[in-house]
Amino acid sequence: MSTLHQAKSFIRHWLYEVDDHSIHSPYFYDLYTKLVTRKHPDGLPVLEDLRRDLESNKTVLDVEDFGSGGQGTIRKRTIGEIARTSLTPYKWAMFFLDLLYHSNSKRVVELGTSLGLTTLYLAQKTDATIYTFEGSHAIANVAMTNFEWAGKKNIKVIEGNLDQTLHRFLEPTDKIDFVLMDANHRYVPTLEYYRLLTRRLKSSSLVVIDDIHRSEEMEKAWEEIRTDTLVYGSVDLYRCGLLCFDPALNKQHYVWSLK
Ligand SMILES: C[S@@+](CC[C@H](N)C(=O)[O-])C[C@H]1O[C@@H](n2cnc3c(N)ncnc32)[C@H](O)[C@@H]1O
């Protein structure tokens, strides 16, 4: 991860950022004023207690590294270390949950379960089913224990490398309302997973890609995807990018910061 790259992209984001006066589309104005500028409370107490427990958990796992750390190697990592470095902060998890309610999403796909904390935030929308994908067997086991403990029945875990599991899942699947891509932060897999997912998207679907400015290759993937012919609206929120597919949105792109 290049610090110089991140500094440059942060400055660029700050320069291009706009506020509600520059938003002409009613759809994006609504999104900005209701969701992006809403003060997010301190997360859901029961899930933030779980986060704290995970952060201090010293259990060592053998973790297959499918992500940007290196394909297929096994590393010893404590649950605490994973919780402190990989999990989405509550402000963003709450924002994703807000997006589910805003779009009334029912079929939700999360690429990259990790310990399942963001999954548990998404699963608060009880009429939604969350299909969550994790490659590491040891991590998926911890996530499933968390789902059982939380008593959430609307989460389905798909274990295995996304390179194999995603197209197998998508083949017989109905249209998807919401996707959170937070697994393999590399250029080629990001493009490939996006392409596969587009077969099951509809005009009202939303796709969030996490870590779009994390590296030059993620920056490149984001630029290519947000300018794809199927994308009719996009928002750069710095931490992540949001994609919309409704032709009525007429190819708009915004740069915002989550409050
Ligand atoms: C950043 S973490 C996900 C964090 C989670 N969404 C959250 O906010 O709590 C990324 C996860 O994706 C998994 N992953 C990365 N590449 C994968 C692949 N090719 N197939 C399956 N899982 C993968 C990693 O094992 C890791 O647990």
What is the DSSP code string of 5-44? HHHHHHHHHHHH---GGG---HHHHHHIIIIISSPP-S--
Q: Tell me, in angstroms, the distance from the centre of ligand 1 to residue 133's CA.
A: 8
Q: Tell me, in angstroms, the distance from the centre of ligand 1 to residue 97's CA.
A: 19
Please choose from 64, 111, 155, 165 the residue to mutate so as to test ligand 1's pocket, defined by most ligand atoms within 8 A of CB: 111
Which domains, from first to last, does the chain contain? 3-44+87-255 (3.40.50.150)
The most distant pair of C-alpha atoms in the chain lies apart, rounded to whole Å, by 51
110 Cα nearest atom in ligand 1: 6
pLDDT of residue 137: 95
Sequence-distant (≥ 6) Cβ neighbours of residue 56 within 8 angstroms:
80
86 Cα nearest atom in ligand 1: 1
Provide the token pair at 35.
Answer: 């969701």
Q: Chain centroid to CA 197: how far?
A: 14
183 Cα nearest atom in ligand 1: 12
Neighbouring-strand partners of residue 210: 240
pLDDT of residue 66: 76
55 HSE (CA, 13 A, CB side)? 12
Q: What is the 8-class DSSP label of residue 251?
A: S
Q: CB within 6 Å of ligand 1 — which residues? A: 66-67, 86-88, 112, 114, 117-118, 133-136, 139, 161-163, 182-184
pLDDT of residue 68: 55
The protein residue with its alpha carbon nearest to ligand 1, atom 14, reads 183
pLDDT of residue 105: 98
Q: Are strands 233-236 and 176-181 parallel, antiparallel or unpaired?
A: unpaired
Q: Chain centroid to CA 175: how far?
A: 18
Q: What is the pLDDT along the chain (259 residues), one digit of tens a residue?
A: 567 777 777 777 676 676 666 778 899 999 999 989 888 778 899 999 999 999 999 999 999 977 555 566 889 999 999 999 999 999 999 999 999 999 999 999 999 999 999 999 999 999 999 999 999 999 999 999 999 999 999 999 999 999 999 999 999 889 999 999 999 899 999 999 999 999 999 999 999 999 999 999 999 999 999 999 999 999 999 999 999 999 999 899 999 999 8
Q: Chain centroid to CA 110: how far?
A: 7
pLDDT of residue 13: 66
The protein residue with its alpha carbon nearest to ligand 1, atom 21, reads 135
Count CB neighbours of 95 within 10 A: 23
pLDDT of residue 79: 98
pLDDT of residue 240: 96
Distance CA 196, CA 119 (A): 21
Neighbouring-strand partners of residue 180: 110, 208
Neighbouring-strand partners of residue 158: 133
211 Cα nearest atom in ligand 1: 1
Residue 143: which of 114, 180, 182 has the closest Cα? 114
What's this model's pTM, rounded to 2 decimal places? 0.93
112 Cα nearest atom in ligand 1: 12
Distance CA 201, CA 114 (A): 24
- H runs (alpha helix) in 62-136: 79-86, 90-102, 117-122
pLDDT of residue 152: 96
Please name the helix (run of DSSP H) or strand (run of DSSP E) that holds residue 115, with its range, or none. Answer: none
Contact predicate 53/44, CB 8 Å: no
CA distances from 54 to 117, 131, 167 (A): 10, 22, 31
157 HSE (CA, 13 A, CB side)? 24
